[in-house]
Amino acid sequence: MSAISIQHVKKSYGSLQALAGVSLEIEQGEFFGLLGPNGAGKTTLITSMAGLCKPDSGSISVMGFDVQKDFRISRRQLGVVPQELVFDPFFTVRETLRFQSGYFGLRKNDDWIDEIMANLDLTNKADSNMRALSGGMKRRVLVAQALVHRPPVIVLDEPTAGVDVELRQSLWQFVSRLNKAGHTIVLTTHYLEEAESLCGRIAMLKQGRLVALDTTANLLAKHRPAGAPVRVLGDDGAADLEAVFVKIMAQAQHE
């Protein structure tokens, strides 16, 4: 059983086709990258995974549960960190995480909440009001909210946009540990070096179409533009993902 199964998903907003028949499978335990330029359809696909956007056609399941037919169960399988800094200004960090636990019917969840806050360096902000936090700290709380019900699948939509290097490093250390513990991670990011170093497989979208899907190593090996500099990754001398991304997007433009 796949962690996420996306089959022939289409979605339009008036004359704009956000998704043009996307199909892909994300296996359990993967660290999977979902890349594409602005307007490629990444966020529409993520909101569809979460059951917040109903596709015009096609189907999506999370851990075997259809996101439309089995919404309540499928939603429990998924933790989503959105791009936007959405928060309730009237609660402290701890209260926010306790309320989020309550949404999933979880009581006496403080031990896990404490562990999440410690790993995201939020412990000293536990009793601070959300509106008093910096943008980076609010971003950390969004990550904590996504993890509070221990979902097997975690979707990170531009989680490090506009945050400092320290948070990026601590977040990736924590998320990598979750992945090694068996959690499936889906990442969208414009920091292509993050995808290159973290993701085992990558899908690339452009204008709602899937234009590339392969392991990171294969993408780097197959699509290095002629004359592009080679940057060593581990033991395989592979091309920088940014050059590969630019090449694939340019090819897709002419198809």
136 is written with which tokens? 């980076």
Question: What is the amino acid identity at position 208?
Answer: G
- Global confidence as pTM: 0.87
Look at residue 49 and tell me if it is in a domain.
yes
pLDDT tier at 80 (50, 70, 90 boundaries)? Answer: very high
> Which residues 6+ apart lie within 8 Å of 203 measured at CB?
24, 32, 33, 34, 35, 210, 212, 213
- pLDDT of 161-198, one tens digit each? 777 777 788 888 888 999 999 999 999 988 888 888 89
Q: 235 pLDDT band (50/70/90 cuts)? A: very low
Q: Which residues, at least 6 apart from 108, have a Cβ–Cβ distance to it below 8 Å? A: none
- Which CATH number fits the domain that encloses residue 161? 3.40.50.300
Q: Which of 67-71, 94-98, 127-131, 240-244 has the lowest mean pLDDT?
A: 240-244
- Domain assignment present for 214: yes
pLDDT for res 139: 85
Record the tokens describing residue 242, joined without a space.
Answer: 């940014």
pLDDT for residue 243: 79
Q: How many domains does the chain have?
A: 1
Q: Which of 32 and 161 is assigned the larger pLDDT?
A: 32
Where do we find the tokens 């989680």?
A: 159
How far is Cα 188 from Cα 233, in angstroms, rounded to an integer? 21
Dihedral sign for Cα 241, 206, 1, 176, please. Answer: positive
Q: Considering the domain boundaries, does residue 147 fall inside one?
A: yes
- The residues, ordered by sequence, that sit 6+ positions from 61 with a Cβ below 8 Å of its Cβ are 2, 4, 5, 67, 74
Crossing angle of helices 135-147/93-103, nearest 10°? 30
Q: Which residue has the higher pLDDT, 234 or 46?
A: 46
Distance CA 198, CA 120 (A): 18
Closest CA to 21 of 52, 50, 58, 47: 58
- Residue 231: inside a domain, yes or no? no
Burial class (CB in 10 A: 0-12, 13-18, 19+), 28: middle
Q: Which amino acid is at 205?
A: L
Examine residue 60 and state whether it is found in any structural domain, yes or no: yes
Residue range 110-142, pLDDT digits in tens: 999 999 999 888 999 999 999 898 888 888 899
- Sequence-ordered list of residues with C-beta below 8 angstroms from that of 119, at least 6 positions apart, any chain: 170, 174
For residue 103, the tally of other CB atoms under 10 A from its CB is 12
Residue 255: which pLDDT band, with cuts at 50, 70 and 90? low
202 Cβ contact list (under 8 Å, min separation 6): 32, 33, 34, 35, 195, 212, 213, 214, 215, 216, 219, 241
Domain that holds residue 101: 2-225+236-252
Indicate whether 58 belongs to any domain: yes
Asked if residue 61 is part of any domain, the answer here is yes
Element (H, E) at 187: strand 184-188
Q: How many C-beta atoms lie closer than 10 Å to residue 16's C-beta?
A: 12
User: Mean pLDDT over residues 63-72, rounded?
Assistant: 94
Dihedral sign for Cα 23, 72, 36, 195, please.
Answer: negative
